[in-house]
Amino acid sequence: DAEMVGVALVRDFTDEPVGYDLQQFMIDERFQNRGYGTAALELILAQLKAEARFDHVEVCVKKDDAAALHVYEKTGFADSGYVDESLPDCVNLICYLR
């Protein structure tokens, strides 16, 4: 039986610098800590790499969300160094699709 365990929303960011923007990525709490988040991110990154419209994907993550930061870093994301003054409690991560 197929059961939805989460949701992801990726959009094209066409302002400079152009790239993919992972706006939403959530795994239902009933399914967390089972590898679904990592597997889903790996599939998303593979799909975006295959599409090859942009060379990177970015996501904004709350600085105190250690579990989310761990999953993103495990799948190739790193701190972009960009600071969004309107979101001081977030860190902007980037993953290059090489």
In a domain, 68, yes or no: yes
pLDDT tens per residue across span 61-97: 999 999 999 999 999 999 999 988 999 999 999 999 9
What is the side-by-side order of every strand in the sheet holding 56-62? 6-13, 19-27, 56-62, 90-96, 78-79
Which structural domain, as residue segments, surrounds residue 51?
Answer: 6-96
> What is the percent of the chain where pLDDT is above 90?
89
CATH number for 49: 3.40.630.30
Entry pTM: 0.90
Q: Are 58 and 80 in contact (CB under 8 A)?
A: yes
Q: pLDDT by residue (tens digit) across 37-59?
A: 999 999 999 999 999 999 999 99
What domain count does the chain have? 1
The answer to whether position 20 is within a domain reads: yes
Residue 1 lies in a domain: no
Q: Which long-range contacts (CB under 8 A, 24 or more apart) does 77-81 make?
A: none
Residue 16's pLDDT is 82
Q: What is the mean pLDDT of residues 20-41?
A: 95
Strands (E), 1-98: 6-13, 19-27, 56-62, 78-79, 90-96
